Amino acid sequence: MSYTIAVAGKGGTGKTTIASLIIAQLLSEKNGSILAVDADPNSTLNEALGVKLEYTLGDVREEMLKHKYDLPGGMDKHRYMQYRLQMSLVEEKGFDLLAMGRTEGPACYCYVNNLLRGIMDEFSSNYKFIVMDNEAGMEHLSRRTTRNVDLLLVVSDESVMGVRTAGRIYQMTKGLDLNLGDSYLVINRAHESLPEPVVAEVEETEVKLLGTVPADENIVEYELAGKSLLSLPDDSPARVAVQELLNIAREKSG
């Protein structure tokens, strides 16, 4: 059974950075295979991980819709989608990457989206860990593409609006058909002490604060240089903080 970590939050909070640092920590622990899933149509997780991306699952879906009447001989839709899914998988040292890509278009994708979800369920069982970087806002959660989640981290910046939005995302998950384990708030790019209005907003929201990740000049430098966040020094402040947060989450889950 895979252990799935989903990262959500409003745009600009650093979700992709947090997801990348989680993957870096899991890689350092060498405790099993990892599937990284970029569930944001504006795919950037591959850049943060230093991975070249050729195809997204959205590309595969578009291709299938265009060629649904002229599939390769002997292949039905399910087998062809499985084949193309394998082709879309980027295999790296210690982890694999799948990018969802664009999820909207002029045609109806209901059938193909359901088929894709089923294949993902089947495919993901090959991994010990799955780390999902979700699109900004709530859309993927509302479509239930993250319906089996062991740990949901809702990321906010150090602002009242960010924390308030994180609380709304958490509230929405309670009304959906999700197999959801633990949910926590993580405040990214935080100072040593949170501003009083932010603390007050955290106390108002139902999602519990797991902890904070400090602003890290190393990350700024790496992003500007286009370097993989997986190569951040082990003592980089943000990387140390994410390691501590994962340890706390594990302790809380028993």
In angstroms, rounded to a whole number, what is the distance separating the alpha carbons of residues 227 and 96? 18
**What CA–CA distances, in Å, run from 20 to 31, 37, 69, 210?**
17, 11, 39, 18
Q: Domain limits of the chain?
A: 3-253
What is the pLDDT at residue 146?
A: 57
What is the pLDDT at residue 115?
A: 57
What does pLDDT average to over the chain?
Answer: 85
What is the pLDDT at residue 111?
A: 53
What is the pLDDT at residue 73?
A: 67
Please say whether the beta carbons of 213 and 188 come within 8 A.
yes
The percent of residues above 70 in pLDDT, for the chain, comes to 83
Q: What is the CATH number of domain 3-253?
A: 3.40.50.300
Q: Give the side-chain half-sphere CA count within 13 A for 155.
A: 29
Burial 53-90 (b: 16+ CB within 10 A, else e): bebbbbbbbbebeeeeeeeeeeeeeeebbeebbeebeb
In angstroms, rounded to a whole number, what is the distance separating the alpha carbons of residues 118 and 60? 15
* pTM, 2 dp: 0.89
pLDDT at 104 over 60: no
Calculate mean pLDDT across residues 238-253: 96
pLDDT at 138 over 90: no
User: Which of 1-15, 117-131, 223-237 is predicted most confidently?
Assistant: 223-237
Give the list of residues 6+ apart from residue 193 with CB closer than 8 angstroms, or none: none
Give the list of residues 6+ apart from residue 175 with CB closer than 8 angstroms, or none: none
Residues 79-100: tens digit of each pLDDT? 777 777 777 889 999 999 988 7
Residues 163-197: tens digit of each pLDDT? 999 999 888 887 776 788 899 999 999 998 999 99
Sheet containing 129-134: which strands, arranged edge to edge?
A: 90-92, 95-99, 34-39, 129-134, 3-9, 148-156, 179-190, 208-214
